[in-house]
Chains A and B, each alone.
Chain A
């Protein structure tokens, strides 16, 4: 989050709608621990990372879906070992759970 502060301030001042995805849990090896964050503006600008590049593309899609009202804020799991896992996985074989929400706090 620390590295996102300047951009979040800028977006907030401009009234831009933004979704934030944060890693809340990891299982097995994972490149980024809890708190790793990325943010996506409704015009498609992306900052930060949650996995070192493995799942960011899929996260952008979920984040935009939250902003467009196509899905609610909630958890998303990436990895191969979980029923709710997306097709996108981590090359390290671990699992990460993200919470994606609109940045309105």
Chain B
């Protein structure tokens, strides 16, 4: 079955799709078309081995979720670890993704913001930093951000909230009820996949009281708030905190436990 009708239609509609092409090694010129479909993955074509197809499709979906295109190398049955590739011919595939990059919106131009924006860029996010305070929200302080806005959270969500979806993240770092209550309210009105809110457990409890005062008390809504933000890595610096937040974002997206792999069972991927 030809891939072109599906590929061209999805590109035209702006629906995520990845085309995998074997560009070097055994099976050169082979193609696999991969796209998400609700909670499952649709795979068209084959690279000649079911295990290879499975591993490559999995990686193509990950590239697609990150909005990345690039080359990857495998053994003929999908092997990826160096020990498994000894004495095996390797094949190089090009994964071409059609997807807008995921977005991270960071509210609050604080100490942690620059480090979080840097790590988010490494992960392929389009990063927006917003703060109502003109002296702090500057491109000079956040040159790594794709966009820096002097704006109240509510205004950003009113204008652009419809852009956010399950691949995107909102990180609210302000600690200040003036900003974080409207930011939480705005984020909850979108279908964004991750809402992290910074602050201690005490701050979190007070925030819940303030949210209740403005009518935000639906348990399903409050359950979406990841607060205190991040995984329990024990780090303290802005950079360590950024890693902890981004690790939580990844685990939220994949639905994994974020445990150490050696304490878990079953396949790693």
Interface of A toward B, CB cutoff 8 Å: 1-2, 5, 8-9, 12, 22, 24-25, 33-35, 72-75, 99, 101, 105
Contacts and interface: CB of A to CB of B under 8 A. Distances in A.
Contacts of A73: 28-29
Interface centre among A34, A75, A105, by most chain B C-beta atoms within 10 angstroms, is: A105
A9 B4 CA distance: 9
B251 to A, nearest CB: 28
Contacts of B69: 33-35
Contact of B11 (A2, A33, A99, A105): A2
Nearest to B69: A34
Nearest to B94: A24
B221 interface: no
B8 A5 contact: yes
B70 interface: yes
Contact of A105 (B31, B70, B97, B98): B31
Contacts of A8: 4, 8
A2 B29 CA distance: 21
Where chain A touches its partner, the secondary structure class is: mixed
Interface of B: 2-4, 8, 11-12, 21, 23-24, 28-29, 31, 45, 69-71, 94, 96-98
B21 A99 contact: yes
Contacts of A1: 11, 96, 98
A44 B145 CA distance: 43
A8 B12 CA distance: 13
Contacts of A24: 23, 70-71, 94
Contacts of A72: 28
8 contacts: A1-B11, A5-B8, A24-B71, A25-B70, A34-B96, A99-B23, A105-B2, A105-B4
A34 B11 contact: no
Contacts of B24: 74-75
Given A24-B23, A72-B28, 14 more contacts: A2-B12, A2-B98, A5-B8, A5-B11, A9-B8, A22-B21, A22-B96, A24-B71, A35-B97, A73-B28, A74-B24, A101-B29, A105-B31, A105-B45
B139 to A, nearest CB: 23
Contacts of A22: 21, 94, 96
Contacts of B3: 105
A102 to B, nearest CB: 8
A19 B24 CA distance: 17
B94 A99 contact: yes
A24 B71 CA distance: 7
Contacts of A75: 23-24
A2 B14 CA distance: 10
A63 to B, nearest CB: 14
